[in-house]
Amino acid sequence: MKLFRRFLPLLVLLLIIASCKTKSSAISNSAEIKSLSARKVSNRHIAKSFQKETIDARLKVVYKDKKTNQTLHVKLRIQKDKVIWLNVTYKGIILVARAKITPQSVSYYEKINKTYFVGDFNVLRNFLGAEVNFTQLQNLLLGQAIFDLKAQKYTAEINDNAHLLTPKQQQTLFDILFWINPAHYKLDKQELKSLEKNQVLQIGYQNYALIEGETFPKHIEIKAMENDEVTSININYTSVLFNKNIRTPFRIPNGYKQVVF
Where in the chain are the domains?
3-258
**pLDDT value of residue 226:** 82
pTM score over 0.75: yes
Q: Is the pLDDT of residue 7 over 50?
A: no
- Per-residue pLDDT at 215 exceeds 70: yes
The answer to whether residue 31 scores a pLDDT higher than 70 is no
Statement: residue 8 has pLDDT above 70: no
Choose the weakest-confidence range: 56-70, 124-138, 162-176, 233-247.
124-138
Q: What number of other Cβ atoms are within 10 A of residue 243's Cβ? A: 12
- pLDDT of amino acid 1: 31
Q: Which residues, 6 or more positions from 54, have their beta carbon under 8 angstroms from its beta carbon?
A: 77, 78, 79, 80, 242, 243, 244, 245, 246
- Three-class secondary structure of residue 56 per DSSP: strand
Q: Would you say the C-alpha torsion 242, 243, 249, 250 has a positive or negative sign? A: positive
Confidence of residue 181 (pLDDT cuts 50, 70, 90): very high
Superfamily of domain 3-258: Lipoprotein localisation LolA/LolB/LppX (2.50.20.10)
Residue 63 phi, psi (nearest 5): -110, 130
The rounded distance, in Å, linking the Cα atoms of 65 and 225 is 10
Residue 256 has pLDDT above 90, yes or no: yes
Q: Is 47 helix (H, G, I), strand (E, B) or coil?
A: helix
User: What average pLDDT does range 53-57 have in this prediction?
Assistant: 90
- Mean pLDDT in residue range 82-90: 91
